[in-house]
Every structure is written in C-alpha cells, then in structure tokens.
Structure 1
Amino acid sequence: MIEVAAAIIHNKEGQILIARRRQGKSQAGLWEFPGGKLEAGEDVPQCLRRELMEELNITIRPTGAYGVNEHNYGSVQIMLIAWKAEFLEGEISLSDHDEYSWVLPAELESFVFAPADVPFVERLLKESC
C-alpha cells in the first residue's frame, strides 16, 4: 500500500485549493486535493510542504490531521492521509496538474474528484452546511 498525503489548503477568503490531474497521469482529468507520496523517514507535514513546493510552487502551513481513506484503484492501493493547511505564499505554477481553482467548500460538488478524495469532499460539504 502506498501512503499519499493530501492537503486541504485554505486561503484567507475561506476557499480551498483543488487541482486537476493532467493528461498522462493516473486519474487524469479528475480533481484532487494536492499532495504526494510520503518518502522514507518523512512525516505528513514534511511531505506536504515538500510536495506543494515541488508541484505548485507554494508555501503552506499544515495545521492538523483531517482523515485517512484507503482506496484500491485495481493496480495500486493507496492510503490517502488528508491534513488541513493554510496557504502562506507563492505564485501557483503547475507541473503535475493542468488546472487549479480556489473554491468555497459548497462549490466542491461541481467538480469530479478522484475516488480516494471523495470521502473528504463529502465531509467538507457536510461541514459547510
């Protein structure tokens, strides 16, 4: 099982950052909370800070665990570990994604998310009511 960290990043306006996986990547065209695979000896906050800088060129501050979801994609099984985080700074530059959007929690239902991210989307929608 592959451990993957995902950041639910909030900005000062109360919006959440989501990104769409580019063509050629697994789950291409689906939206996700950005993050990446944990490396050996790395904890989730370290992984998220590294991945968000590498993939989006932004600095975040992880603020706390949000949940864990295991999902079997057939060829690979992942454990998606979600953490809430605050956006600190940076001009977004995409490498693994072809689009990004800052959305209010209630707007998340307008996007098609990767299956592993769906439980977190559902929870955020409930919390926004």
Structure 2
Amino acid sequence: MEDMKWIEVAAAIIENEAGSILIARRKAGKSQAGLWEFPGGKIEPGESIEACIRRELMEELQIEITIKSYFGMHEHPYETANIRLIAYKVTYLRGDIRLIDHDAYRWVRREELTEIAFAPADVLFVQMLQAELEEK
C-alpha cells in the first residue's frame, strides 16, 4: 500500500437553507457501493479543487453550487487506492437533482449523519460536522 499513489478527490458539504446536508449513495458496481458520501470526484490534472467540485456536481447531480469555504482534508488508504479527500462547504444554487453515479440521495440533518453508513474516507467529515453542531 505504501507504493500506491494518492488520488486527490474533492468533496462538497452542501447545506440548504433549512440546514440539511446533501448526501448521496454510491450505486452498485462502484467501489464502496451502497455506502453514503459527500458528493464530488477526482481532481483532474491542472484543475483547482473549486473547479472540480463545480464540474463534478454538474456532471453527477446536475446542480449548480457556489463555493463557501475550505472544510478539511482526510487521507484514507483503501485496499486498491489511497484517497486524499479535500472537502469544501458549498451552497446549493439551482438545478433539479438527477442521479448519474449514485442510486439515491437524501437531505439530512446533522444529528442524523452518525446513523448513516458512510464510505470510510468521509467519516472524519461526519465527525467534524457533529463537532460543529455541538459547539453551537
């Protein structure tokens, strides 16, 4: 695993006006199938993280967002690849969600996040969102 390169992936923490967060479930046939994640995808060579998030959310969910702020980074080694997941908080602007790479999506309250089976690389961000909730 040491000799595997790191794949940089961008993730979006999408919050709506009601304070709910958008999560999506990876569909059958994908790695981590059946687990939930914060939507996003691989950063292309020469692409900024922000541009990647905008592109991936348009490609995968058919929605437009605006970037708010950097949220965090988590490195997670899987059996087949090492993932460096970089998350930004974003705001949903417009578009009717249409699933391309996922088989389900949900808007969930922060307090519900810990009850959901997330892909391992995303779990740290669930914990960080819970910590923010507890600080309020």
TM-score (norm 2): 0.93
Q: What does residue range 106-121 of structure 1 map to in structure 2 within 5 Å? A: 106-121=111-126
What's the secondary structure of 1:116's corresponding residue? helix
The residue type paired with residue 18 of structure 2 is: E
Is 1:70 the equivalent of 2:81? no
Q: Which has the larger radius of gyration?
A: 2
SS at structure 2 position matched to 1:78: strand
Q: How many residues align?
A: 129
Is 1:80 aligned with 2:115?
no
Q: Which residue of 1 aligns with 2:64?
A: 59
Matched, 1:30 2:2: no
Say yes or no: does 1:94 pair with 2:99: yes
Instruction: Identify the residue that residue 3 of structure 2 maps to in structure 1.
Output: none
Q: Which amino acid aligns with 2:16?
A: N
Show CA shifts across 1:11-55 (max 9, x none).
111110000000000000000000000011111110000000000
Separation (CA, whole Å) in 1 of partners of 2:13 and 2:70: 10
The superposition leaves residues 41-91 of structure 1 with CA deviations (integer Å, 9 ceiling, x where unpaired) of: 111110000000000000011111100000000110010000000000000
Aligned to 2:24: 19
Task: Give every structure 1 segment of 4 or more consecutive aligned residues whose post-TM-superposition deviation is greater than 2 Å.
Answer: none
Question: Residue type matched to 1:79 in 2?
Answer: R
Q: State whether structure 2 residue 128 is matched by structure 1 residue 123.
A: yes
SS of the residue 2:19 aligns to: coil
CA distance in 2, matches of 1:23, 1:128: 32
Q: Distance in 2 between matches of 1:128 and 1:112?
A: 19
For normalisation by structure 1, the TM-score amounts to: 0.98
Q: Distance in 1 between matches of 2:86 and 2:57?
A: 15
